[in-house]
A and B are shown apart, each in its own frame.
Chain A
Amino acid sequence: MSATLAGTLAILLFALPLAGCLGNALLGERLGRRFVNIVGPGVVLGGFVCAVIALVALLGAHEDARSTTVHLWTWFDLGPGALRVGVDITLDPLSVLMCLVITGVGFLIHWYAVGYMEHDESPWRFFSYMNLFIFSMLLLVLSADMVILIIGWALVALSSYLLIGYYYDRPSAVLAARKAFVTQVIGDVALVIAAFMIVTNLSVRSLNLPTIFHYAGASFPHGGALVTGICVLLAIGAFAKSAQFPLHTWLPDAMEGPTPVSALIHAATMVTAGVYLIARFHTLFDLAPIAQGLVACVGIGTAVMAGIIALSQIDIKRVIAYSTMSQIGLMIFAVGIGAYSAGMFHFATHAVFKALLFMAAGNVIHALHDEQDIRLMGGLGLTMRTTERCFLAGSLALAGIPIWAGFFSKEELLGLGFNHGPAAPILYFVGVGINVLTGLYTFRLFFTVFRGEPKTARTYAAHEAPPTMLVPVGILAVLSTVIGWALLFGIPGVVGPFILGSFLDPVFTADGGRLLTEPGHLTALLTVLLGTAGSLVGSGLAYEWWYQHRPDAQVIAGKVPRVLTQLSLHKFYFDEIYDAILVRPVRTLARRLRDVVEPEYADGWVEAVGRATAWMSDTFRVLQTGRLRDYATGMLVAAGAFVVVLAVLVR
């Protein structure tokens, strides 16, 4: 791709959502709802067109010439020996794939939001924040300089903060927003320090990513402590963004935001930025096997934990949120073992079906007038046929049932885990367990919400969502059904088989990276069969328990060790633990500083000087009689004494 085209596309990709953000914020209220409804999704659609053009241009280029880096302008330059930052952008298969998903799925969600936010009193605010998010996300994925990447990284957190706290008169939303933001900042700081380590130890002035990757292999010995440290810090940044253990607690609370936000930010795009980050820095991670192992273990661990928690949640959005956390855990696992293309594949399919699930759940919530408790739902399939079918498509994809999207991407990354990664193949078997869990919680949700008997009067009154909210959901449902096999086996006459892998792999083989060896045919077949069996078992059990009610789910729960159910119900007590070991000690210490140290020590000695002065003046005040005679006498006596002393001294 020519530099001019790449530059133009990048600037358009930045400018369109930014213009939408500013236009909605400044003019939205004056020009009204219709303007907002057109501009909000419109600019994202424009971005999608740009992304498609970029994709076409990339496909037209030779496989090894698909990475274009363009220097737009110099952001900051402190001269010799000091920092230099350029606004550089990279268009390569990885960033273009991200752009496609961000703008494509993003557009559908914006479109959906037009219907969802119909009765909101300030849609301009909503769409302004949403456009800001798209802009930040594009900045994050297109940037070829780490400082600019960090800016995008933080702006993403900002728009997430604004949107979680969108209903600002709900104290729970306000708290959730603050929690999310502070957690993100912890990740930001980790990322910033990683950047310092890179720029200081690589003897480069700038944090230009191609430069870093170019010199990394020569400067950092394989498995060295330094590169491991850098990668661990990068991973902490990724964990904060992608809601991985131990920085995951903000994601479920983030469901306080409007549902399209949950779909766009907290399922499809932002939370997968951590996966992108690790894939982008694959050159460094390839040099640090220990960090890779850590990432893989954290990913799979989070996936298990989130799956267990999802089983007992009663809020429809929180169930999906924990499933998101679990699925991202799998992606993190994939990039942790070095299966970058597989991780990105799962990212793409997950974006589609998870956005679908959230939006379908949004339809349900909308129809029930903001009811989110699944215990009060049931039988919605009777009144909301289309939504039910779409949700089913999403559930099948999520559970990994063959031919739906999740099956292909999940089995691919799990299959690679059989031969690679720490303690292979143990983590693979854990992955099969996750498949069982996924099937269980996915269909528990589906059956509880859409099947069975309606439980409240509101359920009978529920009506199907309007077309603006159904069409995007329908499109995503179709995509979740076809995208997996289309990308894997190709569409005859249009694209060849394994298109995504061959498209992405050159990115990861650049700068000396090596692809994982594919498992042999027999192993591949066996792992796929075993994984699928896991998914089917989970889904089947869910069918037995929550559809057939045979035996009662309560009885099952009674048989599970009490520890496990309690852990699941209380989300492994993370909120309580963090409150006890972080939040409360800091606050107690701060109060102690305010009430004791500040007045008694820091200010104490200042006040003491003041008091001493006052005491001295009180003491010497007796000399101040106010009688002129006394003063004059004093002066004379002193002068005489002075003369005498002088006379003595001179002699």
Chain B
Amino acid sequence: MLSIDLFPLLLGLSAAMFTIGSVGVLVRRNPLVVLMSIELMLNAVNLAFVDYGRYLNSEDGQIFTLVVIVVAAAEAVVGLALVSQVYRAGRELDIDDLSEMKE
């Protein structure tokens, strides 16, 4: 067994993943990439959950991870369906261009 305390390392990894994901959401214009970035953020959270669960000796973290995975799957389904509909409507896949919800 490794005796290194993994807790802070994993937490740092999670934070890094989350930051990368959020930057991706903010700067990219392609909705597919945005969705991927969101996925990355969710997984960062998952990692943090599991890490804390291990640190606190509780199964709650893993249970929440499972819930988040389910939600993420649903979110991906809806998001991809929307993207494909937009694409089939013959519009450019540019997030800044898709702003009809303003009204």
Contacts and interface: CB of A to CB of B under 8 A. Distances in A.
A626 interface: yes
B1 interface: no
Interface stretch (A183-191, A558-566, A627-635): A627-635
B26 A626 contact: no
B91 interface: no
Interface stretch (B50-58, B68-76, B94-102): B94-102
Contacts of B22: 632, 636
Interface residues of B, number: 12
A366 to B, nearest CB: 79
A626 B101 CA distance: 5
Given A625-B102, A629-B96, A636-B22, 14 more contacts: A624-B102, A625-B99, A626-B99, A626-B100, A626-B101, A627-B95, A627-B96, A627-B99, A628-B34, A629-B26, A629-B95, A632-B22, A632-B26, A633-B26
B47 interface: no
Contacts of A628: 34, 95-96, 98
Interface of B: 22, 25-26, 34, 95-96, 98-103
Nearest to A629: B26
Across the A-B interface, give the 7 residue pairs with the lowest CB-CB distance, nearest first.
A626-B102, A626-B99, A628-B95, A626-B101, A632-B25, A627-B99, A624-B102
Contacts of B34: 628
Nearest to B95: A628
A628 B98 CA distance: 8
A47 to B, nearest CB: 79
Interface of A: 624-629, 632-633, 636
Nearest to B100: A626
B95 A636 contact: no
A387 to B, nearest CB: 87
Contacts of B96: 627-629
Contacts of B99: 625-627
Q: Binding site of B, secondary structure by majority: helix, strand, loop or mixed?
A: helix
A627 B96 CA distance: 6
Nearest to B96: A627
Which among A624, A628, A632, A633 has the greatest number of chain B C-beta atoms within 10 A? A628
A633 B26 CA distance: 7
A624 B25 CA distance: 18
Contacts of B100: 626
Contacts of B103: 626
A636 B100 CA distance: 22
Contacts of B102: 624-626
Nearest to A628: B95
A624 B101 CA distance: 8
12 contacts: A624-B101, A624-B102, A625-B99, A626-B99, A626-B101, A626-B102, A627-B95, A628-B96, A629-B95, A632-B22, A633-B26, A636-B26
Nearest to B97: A627
A627 B22 CA distance: 16
Contacts of B101: 624, 626
A629 B96 CA distance: 8
Contacts of A629: 26, 95-96
A155 to B, nearest CB: 65
A616 B26 CA distance: 29
A624 B26 CA distance: 17
A111 B103 CA distance: 81
B91 to A, nearest CB: 14
A639 to B, nearest CB: 9
A264 B10 CA distance: 105
A627 B34 CA distance: 13
A614 to B, nearest CB: 15
Nearest to A624: B102
A627 B99 CA distance: 5
Nearest to B27: A629
Contacts of A632: 22, 25-26
Which among A625, A626, A636 has the greatest number of chain B C-beta atoms within 10 A? A626
A291 B103 CA distance: 77
Contacts of A636: 22, 26
A636 B21 CA distance: 12
Contacts of B95: 627-629
A631 to B, nearest CB: 10
B38 to A, nearest CB: 9
Nearest to B38: A632
B18 to A, nearest CB: 10
Nearest to A625: B102
B99 to A, nearest CB: 3
Nearest to A622: B102
A236 B100 CA distance: 74
Nearest to B25: A632
A257 to B, nearest CB: 68
A24 B89 CA distance: 75
